[in-house]
Structures are given as structure tokens and as C-alpha cells.
Amino acid sequence: MSEKENTCEVRQIKYREALNEALREEMLRDESVFVIGGGIGQRGGSYKVTVGLLDEFGPRRIIDAPISEASFTGAGVGAAITGMRPVVEILFVDFTSLIIDQIVNQAAKYRFMSGGKGRVPMVLRTQGGSGNGLAAQHSQSLEAWYYHVPGLKVVMPSTPYDAKGLLKSAIRDDDPVIFIEHKLLYLTEGPVPQEDYAIDLGVGDIKRSGNDVTIVAWSNMVPRAFAAAEKLAQERIDAEVIDPRTLVPLDKELILESVRKTEHLVIVQEAVRRGGVASDIASIVQAEAFDYLDAPIEIVAGKNTPIPFNVQLERASVPQEPDIIGAVRKVLHL
């Protein structure tokens, strides 16, 4: 539990329930907020994040759209430009390949091309990552696509607490936000305050304090990094686990401060290594904290392959706890 989670009375709820609460509370707070996507009405979404919202807010604010991602995403961009705050849900991040023009060429550039007079306060909620044997077209980690585009913010929460607080801030933000959840996190539970709260975008979190090595991870790699750190502790290796929570904006100072303390860095991403966010974070540390490093930076990443359907091959294609432990031992010369 992070330090902030200790400040209020909390209860244990699921990741998907925390997202549901964030949507409901923001819709009650601001009538310009609405949700649009496929199967989000009576079904409550394939991952049950929007359960009950149709009954409470009606079909004008919970819009169950046809399976035409380009059309309803374009509608969301247009609505945001005219002053609404849409939350557009795309079932799998893989399907965002169908909406690249709307997001990359329109939403991301509108504020700049309007000379700062226009804005696109829209959240694109989607989920990515491997798990459950959903095969190559439903299991990718594509955050680097959007990390690369100026004008977009990228959020990847790893806990129910972070999911709720970050989604609330994303909805209130005046820029387009790509909000990527993970299919294996929806049923995980964690402490979430009863009281209203929001987490500023661009503020990372220390999930576990340590002095020997820094492990930077996001999304579903955070619980794996934390579990690896707990096992390493049995060997008297004290790992610090840093969760950026938002990749854009990136809390680079939190990462640099940790590296200056531990002098060792392992970066863990589920996405394939080539062209990934981990490589960019490594370049930032190389440029700004090189003199503090006592060993080369290790990156633990997915294999350069489409995600297999076979569950055992799927597991072998993305980082697991032993991979993280091995990388830590390598940077510590053990």
C-alpha cells in the first residue's frame, strides 16, 4: 500500500469496481461526462467496468455503440472539441489500430493546430496485455505507439487505488488521455478510500522501498516486480519498486532519485523490447544519472514475437518473476 492510501478509511474492492466508481462519480460531478463504446450498456462491458451505469444515467450518457470503432471514436473526438468530456471505450488496445487517424492525427494535434484555443478533453479507455490465452490479436502491449505521439497522455494503473484516482484525473484533464488497463488486473483487489480523491497525472509511486536496486515497472508488471522483490528479500537483496503510473507525463525525477540511491536499475515491460518505453527510460537515466550507475541497465521485456494462443507459450513470451529476479542478480553481479 502506498503512503497516500493510508490517509483515509479504506475498503478492499476490485480494480474494475474502482474504475466503475470513478466513472460514476465523475458523471455525477459533471454532466458533460458521458461514456461511449461497444457492449457497455446492458452488458456492462466485456470486463464489467460499466455495470449499472446505464440504469443510473440512461442511454444518452451511456451510449452503446455499434461495432464501428472509427465512427464512435470520431464522435468522441468531435464531442470533446465542442465542450463535452467523453470516455470512449475500445475493448482491446489491439483494436485501436482502427482509430489511429482519429487519435493521432486529430485528437493529439487539435490544441497545437488551433494555436492553443481548442482542446480535446477525451479519455480513451482500453485494455491490453497478455493473459487468458486470447491469442495474437487480443493480447498486445501497445503503449509505445501512443507514448511516441506528442499531444497524448498515457496512463497505465497497476492497482485499484491508482485506477480510480488516475481515471478521475484523466476525465478532468483538458488533453486526450490514453488510459490502458490490463485484462489480468480487473479482478485483483486492493484498498480504496471511501472519500473522494484524485491522483495527479505525472506523479509516480514507490510501491516498495529498497536500497540495493531499482525496479521500474508499470501495469501488470508491477505486481510481478513486487513479488520478485519479496523473493529477493529472502536473499537479503533490498529492491525498490517504482511504478510511474503515467508514462506521459513521466515522473522521471522519481526514477532518477531512486537510481541515484541504489546505483542499479532494472526496467520491466510486458511489451516487446524493440522500440519500447523501457528503452527510452533507460536513455533518460543514461543521460541524467550515468555517473551513479554501478552496472549496465537491464531491460526485461516481452519476446519479439506475436503472443501465442497456447497458454504456456504465452507465459514464455512475456516477463515472469524468475526473469526479473535473474536481471536483478545480473546487475548486482550475483
Q: What are the catalytic residues?
A: 69, 138
Q: The cell 470512449 sits on which residue?
A: 88
Dist CA 265 CA 91 (whole Å): 34
Dist CA 82 CA 317 (whole Å): 43
Dist CA 334 CA 321 (whole Å): 17
Antiparallel, parallel or unpaired: β 213-217 and 10-14: unpaired
| 3-state SS, one letter per residue, for the chain | CCCHHHCCCEEEEEHHHHHHHHHHHHHHHCCCEEEEECCCCCCCCCCCCCCCHHHHHCCCCEEECCCCHHHHHHHHHHHHHCCCEEEEEECCHHHHHHHHHHHHHHHCCHHHHCCCCCCCCCEEEEEECCCCCCCCCCCCCCHHHHHCCCCCEEECCCCHHHHHHHHHHHHHCCCCEEEEEECCCCCCEEEEECCCCCCCCCCCEEEECCCCEEEEECCCHHHHHHHHHHHHHCCCCCEEEEECCEEECCCHHHHHHHHHHHCCEEEEEEEECCCCHHHHHHHHHHHHHHHHCCCCCEEEEECCCCCCCCHHHHHHHCCCHHHHHHHHHHHCCC
List all residues 6 or more positions away from 230 whose beta carbon is below 8 Å from its beta carbon.
208
